[in-house]
Amino acid sequence: MSWDVIGTGAVASVGGSAPEIFAALCSGTRGLAELRAFPPGRYRARAAYEIDDRETPGRDEPGRATRWLKAAIAQALGEAGLDGAPGGLPVLIGTTLREQRTAELWWTGEAPLRPEDLHFGTALAGRPGVGLSHTFANACAASLCALALGTDLIDLGEAETVVVAGTDSIAESVFGTLDRVQNAVPTALLPFDRSRRGMLPGEGAAAVVLSRTGLHPERARARLLGVGTNCDARHPTAPTPESITAAIHDAHRRAGVGPADIDLVMLHGTGTPLNDVSEARALTEVFGAPDARPLMTAVKAVTGHTLGGSGLLSLVMAMLALERGTVPPIAGLEDPIEEVAGLGLVAGEPRRAALATAQIDAFGFGGINAVAVLGAGAAA
């Protein structure tokens, strides 16, 4: 079983479209800047990967996660030629925080709040091509979990085409929590580098239009081969290599591929001490001998950790990598940690390669893991 990707959209701190974000990845241009959403003097960390779209500098605005969600979905539907689909398509949205920042602004008296505005469906209702929406809060694996549910809807005959999306903005409560629980103070997000000090959040949204295979063959840009998910609930924050390994094997089984078939891995790569080591150990276990290991890269050094939408953003970037035969480097990776020795991490300059199949990793707090496998083009 497989499903065609017929439309994509993305917004992040480094670009307002998927091609712009991919170009930033290839050039190593980062969206890192001093905090804009709230006064940086309150916290040890002073920077984040924010989208600079506020009308008044230094004054935050409500509804920004919804704004980017609408933009990414509009891009994806437009590319798919379905922005006027009669009756609208089901929309499955993965998120970590929904509009938590909007609630914070209401609490501090800086913005009004209607309870219905906290539900993305309110903003999406009546938009061209959009039908009933469903929101899933599966931590940082949310958008790939939503992707798995989208394949289920198609397989069960509930829909022939679905929209899957993810979005998050930076909330002060979450930024403050991270600032307190991380021992070191990160000044940038540096996945798999010895100098990494932890995670910094980013902002953005991503969307794909997924259809039953062969329904729109002229529009198929990639083929989703399978999505594996699990939740071990073993620890509130610490990832478990065994569970990550199990999710990868499940994704490969569903996709009908083996480790030797994977040409590219889009790493979760949060730059935290535990995630990077756990992910590296799982990948070493799965891919075995060094000469059989795929190329690997990660986007968060450029975009920051975009939370619930991060998995889907990596998937859209993977699709562009497959189309262009180009793997962007991991920005800032100069001194890799010992655990990635022998893995094919791309650093420095983009790598040209023949790419047919990509694996996309997304792991969240609470042991929520999701892994997707993507094939190049409709014939993959």
Q: In the 8-state DSSP scheme, what is residue 332?
A: T
DSSP bridge partners of 361: 371
CA distances (Å), 15 to each of 25, 67, 85, 203, 310, in order? Answer: 10, 15, 27, 11, 15
Catalytic residue among 26, 145, 216, 268: 268
Residue 268 is a catalytic residue: yes
Question: What are the tokens at 238?
Answer: 């610490």
- Residue found under tokens 């085409």: 161
Catalytic residue among 26, 216, 252, 305: 305
Catalytic residue among 26, 140, 145, 252: 140
Q: In the 8-state DSSP scheme, what is residue 225?
A: E
Angle at the Cα of 37 from the Cα atoms of 117 and 170, rounded to 5 degrees: 60
Residue 140 is a catalytic residue: yes
Question: What are the tokens at 337?
Answer: 């940690």
CA–CA separation, 74 vs 325, rounded Å?
27
Of the candidates 365, 348, 147, the one whose C-alpha atom is nearest the C-alpha of residue 268 is: 365
127 burial (CB, 10 Å; 0-12 / 13-18 / 19+) is middle
Residue 145 is a catalytic residue: no
With a CB cutoff of 8 Å and minimum separation 6, the contacts of 201 are: 48, 49, 170, 174, 175, 178, 304, 305, 306, 307
Residues belonging to the active site: 140, 268, 305
